[in-house]
Amino acid sequence: MSDRTFAFATLALHAGHIPDSDTLSRSVALHRTSSYVFKSAEHAANLFALKETGFIYTRLGNPTQEVLERRMAALENGAAALAFASGTSAIHNTVINLCAAGDEIVAGYNLYGGTYTMFDGVLPQFGIQTRFVDPANPHNFEKAITEKTRLLFVETIGNPALAVTDLEAVATVAQKHHLPLVVDSTFTTPYLLRPLDYGADIVCHSLTKWLGGHGTAIGGIVVDGGKFDWTDPKFKLFNEPDPGYHGLRYAHDLGEMNQLAFIMRLRLVPLRNLGACLSPDNAWLFLQGIETLPLRMERHCANAQAVAEFLHKHPQVQWVRYPGLPSDPTHPVAKKYLSKGYGAMVVFGIQGG
């Protein structure tokens, strides 16, 4: 696709894909291959030395996965993306691409249970601590920041309490302290909300949910806004020579790609060495799902709004949380960010428990 501006629905169908010049195949091909042929020893050496781009081994990258990454970057208004085996591994790899032992995270306390446990129970085993705060007041993030903080983390709509985060307010705090704001946008998808447009730096998704849309695969993706300045020495992983990669300093030695230091290191270090790669088959299934994302999200939101309104009036229902209900505590925030709909999830409690 050229530099022209395309509507979201067109990007969902075509972004990141150039029809194959040999076969002229219209649809994205599924490349079920673990490895690739090198044209010569020099070609191989150049690929490994990052002097040329291309595929080496599917743990590091794959043509089908690359279309998914380019499509998601386009849909999020981001610079580049990297797919993972699950939403969980997308978040874990993002965190360890920014934090080493001794570093800290400041996160909203209303995270998906698996992420909460990763931050609260698993990361401390490796010396990374999280300070959890009530995200209802963005000032709470500022109060929890220390000199050890390396990132702020929130969900757009928290799972499962469904509180909507005031992204712009949290991004203002992040910018003031020169920290990246990492946003899990699983519950909104880029159709409802693009966190990078509101000052976030990195967006994570579980592809498993609405992006995939059919319940057929587990996967995750990380999108890099490409605007954060990683040359700040407090981000040691980007500024000190990496002995595992010929002494490369990711924020300095990548030439034109320096601005993409985060996503480059994410591929070259955690993905390459820990191996949580997405399978080509699952990349293809997610591309298939994303084609209909706009249509499905519209219907999901309409259905959820109707269910929430029905439950809200039901005599046997004690409480309902849905950001689209005018009575919901975060409805005023939701109205600012979610002009196309308030998401697909509704939670409620019945009278008598």
Ligand X SMILES: Cc1ncc(COP(=O)(O)O)c(C=O)c1O
By CB under 6 A, is residue 186 in contact with ligand X? yes
Of 153, 281, 278, 286, give the one whose Cα is nearest residue 209. 286
Q: How far is the CB of 197 from ligand X (least distance, A)?
A: 20
Please report, as a single letter, which amino acid is at residue 54: G
Q: How far is the CB of 186 from ligand X (least distance, A)?
A: 4
Q: How far is the CB of 195 from ligand X (least distance, A)?
A: 13
Peptide bond into 160 cis (omega under 30): yes
Q: How far is CA 243 from CA 30, 46, 89, 317, in A?
A: 35, 19, 24, 59
Find the binder of ligand X among 184, 201, 224, 291 (CB under 6 A): 184
Q: Which stretch binds ligand X (CB under 6 A): 7-15, 53-61, 132-140, 180-188?
A: 180-188
Q: Which stretch binds ligand X (CB under 6 A): 27-35, 107-115, 166-174, 270-278?
A: 107-115
> Tokens 């591929």 sit at which residue?
267
By CB under 6 A, is residue 328 in contact with ligand X? no
- What's the farthest any 2 CA atoms get from each other in the chain? 73
In the bound complex, which residue of the shown chain has the CB atom lying closest to ligand X?
A: 87
By CB under 6 A, is residue 195 in contact with ligand X? no
Q: How far is CA 47 from CA 10, 58, 217, 256, 280, in A?
A: 33, 14, 30, 16, 21
Q: Give the helix, strand, coil percentages of the chain, each rounded to 5.
A: 40, 15, 45
d(CA 16, CA 76): 13
> Tokens 């320096």 sit at which residue?
258
Find the binder of ligand X among 58, 110, 140, 206 (CB under 6 A): 206
CB 222 within 8 A of CB 81: yes
CB neighbour list of residue 64: distance below 8 Å, 6 or more residues apart: 28, 29, 30, 31, 280, 283, 284, 287
Q: With respect to ligand X, which residue has the nearer C-beta, 91 or 333?
A: 91
d(CA 299, CA 301): 5
> Tokens 């990669």 sit at which residue?
245
Q: With respect to ligand X, which residue has the nearer C-beta, 108 or 225?
A: 108
By CB under 6 A, is residue 220 in contact with ligand X? yes
Give the CA angle between residues 175, 197, 306 to the nearest 5°: 120
By CB under 6 A, is residue 208 in contact with ligand X? yes
Q: How far is the CB of 87 from ligand X (least distance, A)?
A: 3
Q: What residues from 41 to 100 belong to the interface with ligand X (CB under 6 A)?
A: 86-88
By CB under 6 A, is residue 155 in contact with ligand X? yes
Q: How far is the CB of 90 from ligand X (least distance, A)?
A: 8
CB neighbour list of residue 65: distance below 8 Å, 6 or more residues apart: 58, 83, 277, 278, 280, 283
Find the binder of ligand X among 130, 140, 159, 189 (CB under 6 A): 159
Q: How far is the CB of 337 from ligand X (least distance, A)?
A: 16
By CB under 6 A, is residue 218 in contact with ligand X? yes
By CB under 6 A, is residue 329 in contact with ligand X? no
Q: How far is the CB of 155 from ligand X (least distance, A)?
A: 5
By CB under 6 A, is residue 198 in contact with ligand X? no
Total residues in contact with ligand X, by rule CB under 6 A? 15
d(CA 90, CA 222): 6
Q: How far is the CB of 110 from ligand X (least distance, A)?
A: 10
Q: How far is the CB of 252 from ligand X (least distance, A)?
A: 32
Q: What residues from 109 to 148 belong to the interface with ligand X (CB under 6 A)?
A: 112, 114-115
Using CB under 6 A, list all residues that contact ligand X.
86-88, 112, 114-115, 155, 159, 184, 186-187, 206, 208, 218, 220
